[in-house]
Amino acid sequence: MPRLVVPEHAPAGYRAVGRLDQYLRDSIDAGLLDVVKLRASQLNGCAYCVDMHAASLSELGVPARKIHALPVWRETDFFSDRERAALALTEAITVLTNGVDDDVWAQAAAQFDERELADLVLAIGTINLLNRIGVSTRLAPPPLAR
């Protein structure tokens, strides 16, 4: 059981986050968005979101090997240049101990126009917020079907 069901106790705030998430789903390629969301969720240790975004990538037809290789994306050739730039930016924004390096930003800016880059930054920020809600309230994925 979660510690707190945030949408139940702060429905207007949670709906606002949902509207932002919907805007991003309408603006960013679904596969790229879920790769970003899955990687941030892995870094943040959000079991609920890891489960959801891995399943979503699978439903989109992304090969299981690619999904499983996400934590080691730099070590494979499974990811496009756009995905690599988005993943590097995701990691930098999610783990802000050293800020976002100019090289990481430049790589992302070379792959995405300014509107796309702005949407990507919003997407990374949004999944980090949702991860923090999930982790702090101990939101768990549904049990496996038996």
Question: What confidence tens digit (pLDDT) does each residue in 117-144 have?
Answer: 999 999 999 999 999 999 999 999 999 9
For 34-63, b/e burial (b = at least 16 CB within 10 A) is: bbbbbbbbbbbebebbbbbbbebbeeeebe
Angle at 96 between CA 4 and CA 18, to 5 degrees: 40
Predicted local distance difference test score (pLDDT) of residue 1: 84
pLDDT at 146: 82
Instruction: Look at residue 58 in the predicted model and tell me its pLDDT.
Output: 98
State both tokens at 102. 């100019």
Model pTM score: 0.96
Residue that has been written with the tokens 């690599």 in this structure: 84
Residue 98 — pLDDT band, cuts 50, 70, 90? confident
**Structural domains of the chain ordered from first start:** 30-136 (1.20.1290.10)
> Which tens digit of pLDDT belongs to each residue from 1-41?
889 999 999 999 999 999 999 999 999 999 999 999 999 99
Taking 90 as the threshold, does the pLDDT of residue 62 lie above it?
yes
Q: How confident is the model at residue 50 (pLDDT cuts 50, 70, 90)?
A: very high
